[in-house]
């Protein structure tokens, strides 16, 4: 094997065979979208406008187990450059913060949330929240969800990938990449997203597995990593404190209010399919996280001076032989595309269905316009965050977890105990305190308290106040009677 370098032009490593494999995968993705469109058109020939719109948003609630698993798994890994950057810089800490915490949330969703939402016939998470609390809660949660699913991090990932292949400015590559995804996201609806995810699922899983297998084959196993990496790379908290580490635990719990999870569960052909699909997906995510975490750690051990944001890709491109390199590049692209298309579509749905006036809700053209607006906004916000994927996750994930998580869970556990107005007040106070703490200056002790903890404490306190107030009112009423 030639010496692996920390700084190369990625395009120089790609052979005609790699391009052939790469383009075949893209072609298969295109064919899958056309297939999904063909099925969608068949259903439209027989169905009315309302059913057609249901097909656009949820594939007519006909998502079978294999498709459920493929689209759920594929949707979760568009930030591969962010995940591998954390692993490159911190080792196993990445597996804890971007893996283990999330598995707990997935399992809670499967065994607790699925049973709570079945039978409600909701189309989106804000629609569900509206049925649980009221219309104002639905509108407010739609605003939170819009920013939660705005695909900024994945637009950045797509821009980084394109820039490494073709050069140029990051924002130009981001704009071109997002424009490509917009075409099929608007055209084929959720069905096209699902069928493209099916192809991307197999390619992305095989690609990261290849990188790990060849790493072990070329350099050895765990002993090689232990000899070439600091001991902190094998610590659960890395170089971070326990408080910082557990912030990611709360962010992971935001899965319980993640619209992508709910959309796929609403689209499943039965609650049993959704529950089984989440559990199988969790096992696949576990395997995928093992591959990406240790793959990035091998990259750190072999090319420690590489730029952390794309070290994994440079490393993988150099250890893989011709042909397989093209498959790996296609796998990385598939990982990004499978997430950004879902987020673009869902954020567009939030605009067109949850936030638009009711008279526009069943109009597919309004939905297409919503997806287009989201794409433009994602490109702009990618510039605002200056290409920092981790910062995007931390900022938007913190707001979602701090403001929505506890109120929604409270509604599941204690149905009808807080009103529409109380839900809104609780969430708004969470936003205010979280935003204040994020921007205020603090002394030495309070600097270590993350804004997410402040937001969670605020919403939890407000819920307890409303809960005990309602109990006291009930007692007073009972005594009068």
What angle (nearest 5°) sits at the alpha carbon of residue 352, between those of residues 349 and 354?
75
User: Within a domain: residue 351?
Assistant: yes
pLDDT of residue 366: 83
Band of pLDDT at residue 343, cut at 50, 70 and 90: confident
CA dihedral 315, 316, 321, 324 (to 10 degrees): -160
Q: What percent of the chain has pLDDT over 70?
A: 88
Whether 285 shows a pLDDT value over 70: the answer reads yes
User: Within a domain: residue 433?
Assistant: no
User: Within a domain: residue 179?
Assistant: yes
Residue that has been written with the tokens 């597995």 in this structure: 209
Average the pLDDT over each of 134-143, 221-230, 469-478 and give the range with the smallest value: 469-478
What residues does 268 pair with on adjacent strands? 63
Average the pLDDT over each of 74-78, 197-201, 236-240 and give the range with the smallest value: 74-78
Whether 91 shows a pLDDT value over 70: the answer reads yes
Please list, in sequence order, all residues whose beta carbon lies within 8 angstroms of the beta carbon of residue 121, skipping any fewer than 6 positions away: none
In contact, 362 and 49? CB cutoff 8 Å: yes
Whether 201 shows a pLDDT value over 80: the answer reads yes
Please list, in sequence order, all residues whose beta carbon lies within 8 angstroms of the beta carbon of residue 159, skipping any fewer than 6 positions away: 170, 171, 173, 174, 175, 177, 382, 387
Helix (H, G, I), strand (E, B) or coil at 63: strand
Band of pLDDT at residue 158, cut at 50, 70 and 90: confident
pLDDT of residue 283: 95
Whether 113 shows a pLDDT value over 50: the answer reads yes
User: Within a domain: residue 452?
Assistant: no
Q: What percent of the chain has pLDDT over 90?
A: 28
Q: Stretch 152-179: mean pLDDT, rounded?
A: 84
211, two tokens? 């990188």
CA dist., res. 439 & res. 119, Å (int): 42
Whether 82 shows a pLDDT value over 60: the answer reads yes
User: Within a domain: residue 74?
Assistant: yes
pLDDT of residue 117: 87
Element of type H or E holding 43: helix 16-46
More confident residue, 81 or 141: 141
Element of type H or E holding 111: none
Kindly list the distances between the CA atom of residue 138 and the CA atoms of 130, 174, 230, 263, 306, in Å, as whole numbers in the listed order: 4, 32, 48, 15, 46
**Which CATH number fits the domain that encloses residue 119?**
1.20.1730.10
- Specify the number of domains making up the chain: 1
User: Within a domain: residue 88?
Assistant: yes
User: Within a domain: residue 252?
Assistant: yes
Cβ count near 469 (within 10 Å): 12
Whether 444 shows a pLDDT value over 70: the answer reads no
CA dist., res. 39 & res. 23, Å (int): 24
More confident residue, 87 or 385: 87
Whether 266 shows a pLDDT value over 70: the answer reads yes
Residue of 93, 4, 337 lying closest to 201 (CA atoms): 337
Residue of 224, 243, 244 lying closest to 234 (CA atoms): 224
More confident residue, 48 or 390: 390
Model confidence pLDDT, tens digit, residues 28-44: 888 887 776 676 666 55
Q: Stretch 80-84: mean pLDDT, rounded?
A: 82
In contact, 93 and 240? CB cutoff 8 Å: yes
Band of pLDDT at residue 479, cut at 50, 70 and 90: low
Whether 480 shows a pLDDT value over 70: the answer reads no
pTM recorded for the entire structure: 0.84
Model confidence pLDDT, tens digit, residues 301-331: 999 998 888 889 889 989 999 888 888 888 8
Which residue range(s) make up the domain with 308?
10-389
């Amino acid at each position: 094997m030639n010496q692996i370098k920390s700084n190369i032009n990625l395009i120089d490593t790609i052979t005609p065979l790699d391009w052939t494999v790469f383009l075949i995968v893209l072609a298969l993705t295109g064919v899958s979208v056309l297939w999904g469109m063909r099925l969608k058109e068949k259903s439209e020939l027989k169905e009315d406008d309302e059913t057609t719109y249901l097909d656009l948003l949820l594939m007519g609630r006909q998502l079978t187990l294999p498709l459920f698993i493929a689209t759920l798994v594929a949707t979760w890994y568009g930030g591969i450059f962010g995940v591998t950057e954390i692993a490159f810089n911190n080792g196993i800490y990445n597996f804890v913060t971007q893996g283990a915490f999330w598995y707990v949330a997935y399992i809670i969703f499967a065994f607790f949330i699925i049973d709570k939402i079945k039978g409600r016939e909701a189309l989106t998470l804000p629609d569900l929240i509206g049925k649980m609390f009221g219309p104002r809660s639905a509108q407010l949660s739609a605003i939170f969800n819009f920013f939660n699913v705005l695909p900024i991090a994945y637009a950045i990932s797509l821009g980084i990938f394109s820039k490494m292949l073709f050069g140029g400015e990051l924002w130009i590559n981001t704009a071109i990449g997002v424009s490509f995804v917009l075409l099929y996201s608007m055209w084929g609806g959720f069905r096209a997203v699902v069928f493209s995810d099916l192809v991307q699922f197999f390619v992305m899983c095989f690609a990261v597995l290849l990188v790990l297998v060849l790493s072990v084959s070329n350099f050895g196993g765990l002993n090689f990593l232990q000899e070439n990496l600091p001991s902190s790379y094998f610590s659960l908290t890395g170089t971070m404190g326990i408080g910082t580490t557990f912030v990611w635990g709360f962010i992971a719990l935001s899965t319980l209010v993640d619209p992508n999870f709910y959309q796929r569960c609403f689209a499943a052909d039965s609650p049993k399919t959704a529950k089984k699909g989440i559990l199988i997906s969790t096992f696949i995510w576990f395997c995928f996280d093992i591959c990406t975490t240790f793959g990035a750690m091998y990259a750190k051990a072999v090319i420690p001076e590489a730029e952390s944001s794309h070290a994994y890709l440079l490393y993988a491109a150099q250890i893989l032989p011709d042909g397989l390199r093209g498959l790996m590049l296609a796998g990385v692209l598939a990982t990004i595309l499978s997430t950004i298309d879902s987020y673009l579509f869902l954020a567009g749905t939030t605009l067109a269905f949850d936030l638009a006036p009711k008279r526009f809700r069943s109009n597919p053209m309004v939905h297409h316009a919503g997806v287009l607006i989201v794409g433009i906004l994602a490109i702009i916000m990618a510039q605002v965050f200056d290409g920092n994927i981790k910062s995007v996750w931390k900022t938007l994930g913190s707001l979602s977890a701090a403001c929505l998580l506890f109120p929604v869970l409270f509604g599941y556990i204690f149905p009808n105990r807080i009103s529409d107005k109380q839900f809104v007040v609780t969430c708004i106070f969470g936003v205010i305190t979280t935003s204040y703490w994020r921007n205020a200056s603090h002394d030495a002790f309070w600097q270590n308290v993350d804004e997410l903890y402040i937001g969670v404490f605020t919403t939890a306190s407000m819920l307890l106040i409303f809960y005990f107030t309602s109990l006291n009112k009930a007692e007073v009423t009972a005594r009068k009677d």
